[in-house]
Amino acid sequence: MNSKALRTAVATLAAVLAFAPAGVTFAQPQDSAKQDMKDAGHDTKQAAKKTGHGIAKGTKTAARKTKNGTKKVVHGAAHGTKKAADKVEDKTDPK
């Protein structure tokens, strides 16, 4: 083989090898799209569960804090009422 034929053969082989994988990478079997849809559905389900758990936790925390806050307000109001009653106790006694 002369050098010109050898260079042509090498260039042709290089071109075939360079473009051969391109056909393989673009072809996807039908199962791949189906599996992608299954994966997307699973991911969506997991995200919804996580969101629900976060909301439940936040609701419990808010309820607990509201309960504690209400107790403080009621206790403070009761203390203020008792204090005011003690102040006016002598003044309301008819003598």
DSSP letters spanning 21-64: HHHHHH---HHHHHHHHHHHHHHHHHHHHHHHHHHHHHHHHHHH
**Mean pLDDT across 49-56:** 94
Whether 92 shows a pLDDT value over 70: the answer reads no
Q: How far lies 30's CA from each of 26, 33, 34, 37, in Å?
A: 13, 6, 7, 11
Domain spans of the chain, in order of start: 47-88
What pLDDT sits at residue 45?
94
Residues 67-85 have pLDDT tens digits of 999 999 999 999 999 888 8
Residues 17-52 have pLDDT tens digits of 666 655 555 555 667 888 999 999 999 999 999 999
pLDDT bracket for residue 94 (50, 70, 90): low
Whole-structure pTM over 0.75, yes or no? Answer: no
